[in-house]
Structure 1
Amino acid sequence: MLVFLIFLLVSTILPLTVGATHGHNQRGRHQELAQRAQGDVGIHKRTFNNSRFTFYDVGLGACGQDSSPDDFIVALNVAQYGAGYPGPQCFKSITILYGGKTAQATIMDKCMGCPYGGLDFSTSLFNYFAPEDDGVLYGSWWFNIQ
């Protein structure tokens, strides 16, 4: 009976002491593993596919600068444009792909009627890809790494 009581006492206390030691080591190891990665981590490009492209008459844009119809600029949809003045995406460079052609453009405005991922092009940018009579195009685009 005495052996049984000693066994019961040891089996009750032993897991508590081993668990505390093990938990302490794990916390230290977790801290080591959870440190923030360095800033040189590879950035993966996020492509917006099957995006709707239209065109508009450019001028003074929501980014606060005038643009001409000959500039390769875009108005970004409201959801991605962001809040504030100028918007957080203003003046960022993007690459557009349509019909086997690519072009780089700058975000200079916001498009109130564009769906998420959609862009409004300056007329010269639209004409680079297709005639204005096409009206609406569907293609891909992504932010350029800066």
Structure 2
Amino acid sequence: MASLLALCFVALVTLCLGSPIASEVQLEKRANVGRATFYNVGEGACGEFNVPTDPVVAISTALFGAQFPGPHCGQGVTITNTQNGKTVRGTVLDECAVCGAFDLDLSEGLFLQLTPSLSAGEIPVNWSFDD
């Protein structure tokens, strides 16, 4: 009886060791929906001086946080204009105190990569933080 029990135990261990292990779960990036506007950049809340041609992204105070520098400073952001499908990549370098939670304020240069004219004023966007 003991040898039968030992044999069953060995068989069970062999089956378990031969079973595939579940691979890591891939998390999907969270896509944020908001609007993008543009502004005249200068010294940003991340402590860097920026010019209009820099790919500056200012995020809402809700996302920026109360620390200096904010936890997202220097983080890449991928932004898509949902009206025309154009996609650009910018960097969080500033805070937007008047933006809604998921709205973005962009440097003029970055805004113009998404739409042909500043006269648009604001555009609907989907965006996400890069890894």
Report the TM-score range of the alignment, normalised by the length of the smaller protein. Answer: 0.7 to 0.9
- The one-letter amino acid of 2:65's match is G
Specify the alignment match of 2:58 in structure 1. Answer: 75
Alignment RMSD: 1.1
Q: Residue deviations 1:7-49, cap 9 Å, x none? A: xxxxxxxxxxxxxxxxxxxxxxxxxxxxxxxxx6523200002
Per the normalisation by structure 2, the TM-score is 0.77
Runs of 4+ in 1 over 4 A off after TM superposition: none
- Identity fraction in percent: 39
Specify which of 61, 66, 76 is matched with residue 44 of structure 2.
61
Give, as a single letter, the amino acid of the residue that structure 2 aligns with 1:113.
V
Provide the TM-score with structure 1 as the length reference: 0.69
2:63 maps to 1:95:
no
In structure 2, the partner of 1:107 is 92
**Partner of 2:40: helix, strand, or coil?**
coil
Could you tell me how far apart the structure 1 residues matched to 2:75 and 2:58 are? 11
Q: Which runs of 5+ in 1 are unaligned?
A: 1-39
AA aligned to 1:119 is L
Highest Rg: 1 or 2?
1
Q: Report Cα offsets for 1:42-95 as digits up to 9, x if no partner.
A: 23200002x111000111000001111001111101101112100011110010
Indicate the SS of the match to 1:137: strand
Which consecutive unaligned segments of at least 5 residues does structure 2 have?
1-23
1:120 aligns with 2:105: yes
